[in-house]
Amino acid sequence: AQSVTQLGSHVSVSEGALVLLRCNYSSSVPPYLFWYVQYPNQGLQLLLKYTTGATLVKGINGFEAEFKKSETSFHLTKPSAHMSDAAEYFCAVSEGSNDYKLSFGAGTTVTVRA
């Protein structure tokens, strides 16, 4: 069984500053990893995903994440925060291409200060 831990339920950053959201996972097989964003009263939108291949994954809205197997981590970063990045972010893991049972972290709420 897989599980996800997101460090920090709330993160506050200044506009223009680095955004760093931490995600650690456990999985008994090579994982597929995801970051989703949820804006208020909306569904989840896929930011990026890692399945196989290059460990640095680029997503939408300037976000990227790096899969580090040795650290069982998949941290999400964005070099320069924008006010529109204020949202809740979820890290999720599945156990590969034949497993569609996503396990989600508890989420991290990002606020952006002007």
Give residues in contact with other proteins (CB under 8 A): 4, 9, 32, 34, 36, 42-46, 49, 51, 90, 92, 97, 100-107
Residue 53 or 84 having the CB closest to other proteins: 53
At 46 the three-state DSSP class reads strand
The 3-state secondary structure of 53-76 reads CCCEEECHHHCEEEEEHHHCEEEE
Give the residue with the Cβ less far from other proteins, 50 or 78: 50
| Structural tokens at position 23 | 């995600």
* Nearest distance from C-beta of residue 112 to other proteins, angstroms: 21
Nearest to 58 by CA among 46, 70, 45, 73: 46
Q: Compute the least distance from the CB of residue 16 to other proteins, in Å.
A: 29
Residues 6+ apart with CB under 8 A from 102: 34, 92, 93, 94
Of the pair 18, 46, the CB lying nearest other proteins is at 46
Minimum distance between the CB of residue 59 and other proteins, rounded to whole angstroms? 11
Q: Tally the residues of the chain.
A: 114
Smaller CB separation from other proteins, 14 or 26: 26
